[in-house]
Structure formats: C-alpha cells, structure tokens
Structure 1
Amino acid sequence: DVLEAFWGDFRGGFGGGTEREILDLGGLHFAHVRHGGLFFGASTEGDASPFTIIEFLNRLVTLLRDFCGPLSEKSLGMNLALVGELLEELDFGHIQTTTPEVLRSLVQSEPEVPKPFSLLDLGSVGLFGAETQQSRVAPGAAAARPLPPARGDQPPRPELFVDVLERLSVVIAANGSPLKVEVQGEIRLKSFLPPGTELRIGLTEEFCVGKSELRGYGTPVRVDECSFHSSVSLAEFGSRRVLSLRPEPGEMTLMQYQVQDEIPAPLPFRLFPTARAQPPNRIHLYLKLRCDLPPKSQAINVCLQLPVPKGVSSLSQELSSPDQSAELDLGSRSIRWEIPKIQGGSQLSALFKLDLPSLGRAWRLELGPAHASFELPGLSCSGLRVRFLRLLPGTAPRWVRYRSCSQHYVLRL
C-alpha cells in the first residue's frame, strides 16, 4: 500500500532526527508541507521540480485558508465539497491557477466555519484611523473568516488585516550571555478590499537594512536581509519607508526579513537553576524563570522542557503558583513545566525532586539544556512597527497585530 509505505518512510525520517519534505519511494516522488498539525502532500512520477511542488502546496494552504477559514481537521471535513472544487483546478496534474480572484468565480459551494474561535490567538490588536491610531480589539473570527463567493448583490464588508509575525531562535550560555540570536520575521496581509484599491503601508522610519545604513533619530530597527512580494512598489521605500500595492482579495506575504546577532529589546527569558544531590538516590532541582519583557507585556503558553538523568523513576514538585503544572515524560526523559501566562518583569519558581535507583558521578552532565516555547502577543522582537495604513480611494477598517513566538529557544545550565 502506497500510503503505508509513505507513512512508514516518513516516520523513519523523524526517527533519524530530520523531517524530510521530499521522499522517493519506488520511483514515486512525494512532497509534503505541514501547517497547524496538518500534512498536505503531492506525488509525481516525473522529474518535476521539488521547489515547484513545495511552492504549490504552500499556495494551496493559503487558498484553503482564504476559502475555508482557519485550517483544522474539522474545518476541512466541513468543507470537503469546496476543497474538491479547488482541487479540480489540477487538470490531470497540470496546475491551472492559484489566483483567489479567478477561483472565486468558479466555486459554487458555500464555506462553513467552525466555532468557537479563541481570542487568545489574536494577541494585541490595534485599529488605525485615517491619521491617528486607536486601541481596540478586533472581532474574534474576523481575520479568520473565508473569502465570500464572487456572486450576490450585496458586496462583502471591506476590511484589511496586517500581521507582523516573528520567530525567535536563541541559545543562552549558562552564565546568561547569548551565544546565538536570530529573528525570522514576515509581514502578512489578508485583504477583504475591493480589487484595485491602493494600499500604502508606512513602516518604522528608523528601519534600516544592513549594519552600514542608519536612518532617523530614534533607536534603529536593523535587519540583515529583507525581501518583498513581487506586487509591492518600492518607489517610496528608500526615502520614506513606505510600501505601495494593490492587493487582491485573499492572503499574501508582503515582506520577509531576518535579524542576526542582536535585537533592540532584552531576551524574553532567563533561567537560574540550582541542582543538589540528596543521598542516597534523590536530586533536588530548583528552577527560577525570570521574564524580562516590559511590565505591561506578557508571555502566554509558556512551556519549559528540561532533560533529566537516565533512570529517573518519579517526580515530586512544588510550584510557585497554582495555575502552573509539571510532569515527568519518561518517553523523552524530561520534565515538562507548563505556565499559561507570565507577566513581564516577574519571575516564577519550581522545586523538583527526582528519584533515581542510584546517583552516578556524572548526573549533572545529564541535566539540560532546557528548551522553552512561548508566544508573545502584541510584541515584535525586532522593534519593527507599522506607522500607518492608508487606502485610496475610500476607507475601511484596518487592523494591525503583532505576535512573536519561539522557534528554538535553548537555555544551557
């Protein structure tokens, strides 16, 4: 069975410590991408370019989000007919189009969006008026709703959503000094505007590319590399840091950028561990996690995973607040410490008591390093901000949201 062979080889890739996006099984080439815990795959017998297949799968994911709303197993199950209509544009393996505006005139099925939608996913949201910025919360399902079909007498409500998303990769030494700091960011646009509307986006005036370029009088917002969507006009970018485009309805990645070595804000977390042996067969591990975010900011969905010595059989714990939880994962041989929310400028602590059959001499070498995962709603680690969003002609609600999350955050003990 081809499916079983593919899944078996895929799991073998995980067992080797790497996730392979391209697999060759008996002359068949399989490619896949993963989004939100879902796998989207394609296969071919010919020598098709793997980059083309991966790019098509990523565009397919964007199309499904545009037409079906937030992607999940439930939402895809509710919209099987609509998904089938979109896949019909693959005519005997030949890609016809991935343009949302063209496909809207071809599909007949109405999208169904599952409920409820969590407001925690939105983070901090701001509404931009014509000349001023006002703080306001966007409707929960607004940005996740699908594009309306291109029919009917009543036009859809025009709205614009801009997301500044950043992924943080950090390695911190035992003495607290950063060994690696990297930010991968992107500005993502989801438009419900009428076709032909001109959009002007003003970025931070101090935004500069490379270490040699300095702009403005404030703290520079420096990136090492950046790239833009092909539809973006950069005529005013050099002088005023303004991007211009006429977005089509749907979702697109407006800009991608990378920051290395240093960021203007302090790193979100610092870990202070203390480990002592308690003969004959117990280890006391005291952890203090400090959040160095600004006091008005917070981190959510924080999880700290810490490898422990071999042979640990049981765990007892004392946590500094009742909303925390911890467990010993024998499969990965690690402690999993979960914190729903931590405020900037605060710290939390935990005492773990580990029981072993016996204490070896090298038990300290088997502790750590700790891996942290978290989300930072309303924050951009690079300091990049959107100054304004302007539409010509007319006006419409415009929403800007900032969100940073960990991609690889390692704290050495």
Structure 2
Amino acid sequence: GVSGKLEQLAHGLSEKVNLGEKKTMTSAAANKPIQVSGDKKDNTIFVDVIERLTVVLDSRGSMTHSYINGCITLKSFMTGSSEMRLGLSDGVSVTSLGISGKGASAVNTLVMEDMNLHECVRWDENKKEAVFTFFAPDGEFNLLSYRIKSPFRAPISVVPFLETKPRANSLDYVLRVRGEFPADKTAAHVSLVFALPHWANSVAVETASATAAAQGGDKGAVPVAGKAQFDRKTQVVHWQIAKIQGGTEVIVRCKIVLASNMDATACSLEDFGVVRVNFELPMHLLSGVSIKFLDFLYASGKTPNKWIRYVTQANSYVARWS
C-alpha cells in the first residue's frame, strides 16, 4: 500500500488521470517536503511540468513582449532502477529537434523553439517524435527544458483607468484585473505591487469584485477582492488576492487627493509606475503541452506510483503605461 507520507501528499489530489496509475496533484501538495532515508522509499515518482512566463503588458492589456520558459522536473524515490519512457502529446512541435506536431491537438499547441535534454535522456532522432527514454537518478532533476516565443494569450490582463474629479482636485487610479483563462481554472497566490506618484498627497485604497458588481449587486453586496495596503513611506501599494477564477474580474481603486497647486486633469497614466504581477495557475499550461504516457520498461517488482502536476507561474510579469 501507499505509505503514510504519500497519503498526506494525496490529500492535495485534484483529479485522477486515466493513464495507468498516473495521478495529478495540486502544486501545494507537490511542494511539500519528502523525507527519504536509507532504504525507506515511497517507490514513487513525481513529475512536474512547470511553465514560467515573462510578459510585458501595455495600457490596453495587450502583450508587447512575451515568452515561456518550461521544464519537466522529476523527483524520483523509487525502490529499484527501471528504464522509463516519457511521451509528450502528439501536438507538440520542437524546432530544435525537428519534431512536428500532428493531429487536431497541434492546432492548440505552441511551438517549442529550443529544447535541452538531461544527459540521462536518450532520444531517437530518426523517429522525430517527442518520446524520451531514460534511467531516472535518485532525487530531483530536470528531464528537459524548453522555451516558447510564439504568441499566446496573457492569462491575466491588467487595464488601468484614470477618473479625474477637477472640483475636488482629486482622481481615482483604477486597475481592472481579469483572469483570461477557462472558468474551471483558478489562479492562486495573486499579488500586484505598484507605486503611486510622489505628488499623491492623500491616498485611500479600495478593492472589489468587478464581476459581482456587474451582476447587479449594490455597493454593500459587492465583496471585497483581497487585501490592499498603501505604504506611505515608499508610496507603494501591495494588493494580495487569494484567488481569481477564470473569466472573472477584480478591481483596485486608489483615491488620490492632490496638492492644492496641482490640476487633476493634467495627470496621466504615464505618471504611474510599473505594476508587478505574481500568480500561480495550477493544472493549466498555456503551451497546451501534456504528458501522453510515462511507462516503466523492464520493471521488476511492484509498479511505482506516478504523480503529475501542471503549473503556470509568473516569472517576470509586468504592466507599464509608458
């Protein structure tokens, strides 16, 4: 049976994939430390497919610069040594290896321009398939890494607005943040950090669910979206949001009172600093890559347990208005 440690990890199970004994797990579960000593091993192998995004957004929420750094990392705690074979989905194209995606899935899969393989990997260049054979060393290692430069849709958009109030000599700086991914997915650990201009004399920060507001709720019924704090010493706002569901929108509103000698109508978005966004999107990859199979060749004894997770993370994800 599965050991007590694995049962604790399985508590974060999100769904079961119908590929032999392969299972999927949440990113939080996969990050839990695993203590293995001596001969006491869980006979388990974890597979992480992680894509880290570098994105620059403009004031319309469009990307002006973007690429994906992806890697497949294995954490091997098997009781024996077995040759393994891992295959990626049929739609995967890798230009550096001469692999061309095929089938309907290729339409929804981005092209990998570069791929680097671990020294333990054997790949048959004559077959031109995304199938890799290897003996997994103990512990954690990167089986392969890749980069994608072809266009993709930003998973989280940030659109700014300025609402000036000349009579009150004040303005509202508003950021609308939307999850541009399927409704059945949820971004976690979302945070935005941005600076306000030095001339912001007095600042009050409010957050709300724009989706709830659009559905007709009155002001008292619209839920607050996370927690935003303004540091008066640094003029920086830190906005923490527990999660954003795909297709929903949240907003932060910074109510700024200007100095008496300033004109609110003369202010522009270019006066405001870069917005730095951080988030994690479990069980969703923008590339469309997936693991088709993970087989054990010539394995002796009990078949090891296999766990897999897919995660998209913000690496350098910023929005700038100038």
Q: How far did residue 346 of structure 1 move?
A: 0.9
Match of residue 162, structure 2, among 275, 294, 302: 275
Q: Among 371, 376, 393, which residue is 2:276 paired with? A: 371
CA distance in 1: counterparts of 2:243 and 2:19, whole angstroms? 31
State the match for 1:291 in structure 2.
179
Match of 2:190 among 295, 302, 308: 302
Question: Displacement, 1:332?
Answer: 3.9
How far did residue 209 of structure 1 move?
A: 1.5
Quick check: 2:191–2:278 contact (8 Å CA) kept in 1?
yes
How far 1:318 sits from its partner (Å)?
Answer: 3.0
What SS class does the counterpart of residue 365 from structure 1 fall into? helix
Q: Secondary structure at the match of 1:296?
A: coil
Q: State the shift of 1:403 in Å.
A: 1.0
Q: Which shows bigger deviation, 288-297 or 192-201?
A: 192-201
SS in 2 for 1:157: coil
Superposed displacement of residue 168, structure 1: 0.3
AA aligned to 1:372 is V
Per-residue Cα deviation, 1:7-58 (whole angstroms, up to 9, x for no partner): xxxxxxxxxxxxxxxxxxxxxxxxxxxxxxxxxxxxxxxxxxxxxxxxxxxx
**Matches of 2:112 and 2:228 in 1, distance apart?**
38
Give CA-to-partner distance per residue, 1:159-182, whole Å, 9 cap, x none.
010001111011122233321111
Contact between 2:279 and 2:314, CA under 8 Å: does it hold in 1? yes
TM-score (norm 1): 0.63
Query: Which amino acid letter does the alignment assign opposite residue 193 of structure 1?
Result: M
Whether 2:86 is the aligned partner of 1:183: answer: no
Q: Which of 227, 231, 250 is matched with 2:139 structurally?
A: 250
**Residue identity matched to 1:187:** I
> Structure 2 matches for 1:105-144, cutoff 5 A?
124=14, 126=16, 129-130=19-20, 140=29, 144=33
Q: CA deviation at 1:215?
A: 2.3
Structure 1 position 406 matched with structure 2 position 314: yes
* CA-CA distance at 1:307 after TM superposition: 2.2
Aligned to 1:227: 116
Output the CA distance in 1 between the equivalents of 2:26 and 2:274: 38
RMSD (Å) for aligned C-alpha atoms? 3.1
Question: What is the distance in 2 between the residues matched to 1:376 and 1:315?
Answer: 32
Q: Give me the TM-score of the superposition, normalised by structure 2.
A: 0.79
The residue correspondences of 1:297-376 to structure 2 (distance < 5 A) are: 297-320=185-208, 321-358=223-260, 359=262, 361-362=266-267, 364-376=269-281
State the shift of 1:343 in Å: 0.3
Instruction: Please report how far the alpha carbon of residue 348 of structure 1 lies from its aligned counterpart in structure 2 after TM superposition.
Output: 1.3
Are residues 1:160 and 2:62 paired? no
| Shift in alpha-carbon separation, 1:204–1:141, aligned structure 2, 3 A | closer
Deviation of the 1:142 alpha carbon: 8.6
Which one has more relative contact order, counting CA pairs under 8 Å at least 6 apart? 2
**Counterparts in 2 of 1:388 and 1:372: CA distance versus 1, 3 Å:** same
**1:143 & 1:125 partners in 2: Cα distance?**
18
Query: Match for residue 13 of structure 1?
Result: none
Q: Is the 8 A contact 2:27 2:311 kept in 1?
A: no
Of 148, 163, 170, the residue aligned with 2:55 is 170
**Of Structure 1 and Structure 2, which has the larger fraction of its residues in helix?**
1
Deviations 1:70-94 (A, max 9, x none): xxxxxxxxxxxxxxxxxxxxxxxxx
Superposed CA deviations along residues 261-304 of structure 1, whole A, max 9, x for unmatched, are 413xx311222322123245422122221111101001111112
Q: Cα 1:316–1:136, aligned 2, differ >3 Å: closer, same or farther?
A: closer
Listed as ranges, the matches of 1:387-402 within 5 Å are: 387-392=292-297, 393=299, 394-402=302-310
Deviation at 1:315?
Answer: 2.3
The 1-side partners of 2:137 and 2:29 are apart by 23
* Deviation (angstroms), 1:312: 2.2
